[in-house]
Every structure is written in structure tokens, then in C-alpha cells.
Structure 1
Amino acid sequence: MKRITGILFALIVLGSCNSQKVYSDFDISYSRSGGLSPVYENLLIKGYDAHYSFEGQGKKYRQDFKVPQEDLNKIEHTLSRNNFRRIQEDHKKIYDHISTSVNVKKGPNEGSKTDASSIMPNYRTNWTNITNAFQELINNNVKKQ
């Protein structure tokens, strides 16, 4: 009986570890979270596969989809054209706003940026262009109920 219980426990632990893999194994991620009425939005891209989740405003979505090559190229081009790696984050304290983070784990634009504290004024237009490209990708590919 102890052996069966041990095997079941091991399977449960392995299953729960594997279910979190989607959140750690990605090439590009875009996430928004926070606010007075909290919103949690995540877009994780690995190769041509994307995982999208949204929770907030009384709604909850989860969807997996394929990202077309042209959309991936557009994201990469937008990151490069707007000097993603050179964007400077401000370190002011900002409370109760929705912050956005972009993480790129491979390629020429590898890096991580967030507007949790704000973006320096000289780079705000670049940051807006980048976040708009991700929102466009979401709007074109995610079917919300």
C-alpha cells in the first residue's frame, strides 16, 4: 500500500511540474498585470507556438495558437527598429497601474524590459510601438468568448 501511495505521489508531483513548463519555456513573452482592478495577461511564444491567457474584469481566457512567420518577423522587426535592448527603465515608484513586461530569450533583441516603474521619456514612443505590436498580434489571433 505504501508503495502504491508513493508511486501516486510521484506521478502527481511530476504532472504538476510539467504543467508549469509552458510558463518557463518560451522564446518571447509579453505580460501585463496589476491595477486597481487586477488584470493578468500573458502571451508566451516558443517557436511558432503561442500560449495566451487572460484573467480580469470578470473574464478568463486561455488559448493556444500558431503564430504565422510574418507575425514573428513583424515582432522581431518592431523590437529591432525601436531599439528594444537600449530602452531605459525609470526607477520611480508607481503604484496601482497595469505594468507591462517584455522578455526575449533568444535572437539579436535578447533582453527584458518592464514599465513597472515607468520608461524614460526619450524611450516612451519606442516602448509604445513595441507593446502595440504585441497587442496587435493578440487581437489578430486570439478568439475571445
Structure 2
Amino acid sequence: MKKLIVVLLLIMITVSCSSQKAYSDFDISYSKSGGYAPIYENLLIKGSDVQYSFEGQEKKIKTTFQLSNEEILNLNQVLNENNFRHIAEDHKKIYDRVAIAINVKKGKNSANKTDASMIMPQSKKNWDQVVNAFQNIINKNVKNTQ
């Protein structure tokens, strides 16, 4: 009986560890979370594979899809043109608002940026264009599953 419990425990630990791998094994991520009525939106890109999830506003969506080479190139071009790595974040404390975080792990745009404390005025236009590129990917690929 003890061996059965140990085996079940090991299986549960293995499954729980591998389910978290999706949230750490990505090239680019976009997440939006927080607010008075909290929402949680995640877009994880690994190569051309994408995992998307949304929870909030009485909705729960979880889907996967593929990006075309053109879409990947377009996203990288938007990151390049808007100097993603050099977008300046403000560091004032702001609470109870929806914040967006973008994490690029590979390439010359490797950086983590968030508007949780706002974006400096000189970088606001660049930030908005990068956010719009991610939002366009979501709108194009997720609208049919809602």
C-alpha cells in the first residue's frame, strides 16, 4: 500500500512539474493581468507554436495555434522598429490597474518590459505599437474560438 501511495505521489509531482514548463519554455511572452475585476491573459510563443489563455469577464479561453513565418517576421520587425529593448519604464507605484508585461528571450530584442508602473512619455508610442502587434495576433487567431 505504501508503494502505491509513493508511486501516485511521484506521478502527481511529475505531472505538475511538466505542466509548468509551458510557462517557462518560450521565446516571447505577452501577459496582461490585474485590475479591479481581475483578468489574466497569456500569449506564449515558442518557435511558431503559440499557447493562449484568457480568464476573466466571465470567460475562460485556452487554445493553441501556429504563427506563420510572415507573422513571426512581422512581430520581430515591430520589436526592432520600436527599439523594444530600449523602451523606458517609469518606476512609480500604481495599484489596481491592468498591467501588460512582455518578455523576449532571444535575439537582439531580449528584454523584459512592463507598464505596471507606466511607460515613460518618450517611449509610449513605441510601447503602444508593440502592444498592438501582440493584440493583432490575438485578435486574428483567437476570435474564432470565443
- TM-score under structure 2 length normalisation: 0.97
Runs of 4+ residues over 6 Å off in structure 1: none
Helix, strand or coil: the match of 1:118? coil
Distance across 2 between alignment mates of 1:89 and 1:139? 26
Counterpart in the other structure of 2:18: 18
Q: In structure 2, what residue type is equivalent to 1:63? A: T
Question: Is it true that 1:89 corresponds to 2:92 in the alignment?
Answer: no
Helix, strand or coil: the match of 2:116? coil
Counterpart in the other structure of 1:144: 145
Aligned length: 145
Distance across 1 between alignment mates of 2:62 and 2:8? 28
Distance across 1 between alignment mates of 2:99 and 2:113? 11
Distance across 2 between alignment mates of 1:76 and 1:141? 18
Counterpart in the other structure of 1:122: 122
Helix, strand or coil: the match of 1:77? helix
Percent identical among aligned pairs is: 54
Helix, strand or coil: the match of 2:62? strand
Helix, strand or coil: the match of 1:90? coil
What is the CA-CA distance between 1:4 and the residue it aligns to? Answer: 1.6
Unaligned runs of 5+ in 2: none
Counterpart in the other structure of 2:104: 104
What is the CA-CA distance between 1:144 and the residue it aligns to? Answer: 3.2
Unaligned runs of 5+ in 1: none
Helix, strand or coil: the match of 1:20? helix
Q: In structure 1, what residue type is equivalent to 2:52? A: Y
Distance across 2 between alignment mates of 1:82 and 1:36? 30
Distance across 2 between alignment mates of 1:80 and 1:47? 18
What is the CA-CA distance between 1:39 and the residue it aligns to? Answer: 0.8
- TM-score under structure 1 length normalisation: 0.97
Helix, strand or coil: the match of 2:145? coil
Counterpart in the other structure of 2:63: 63
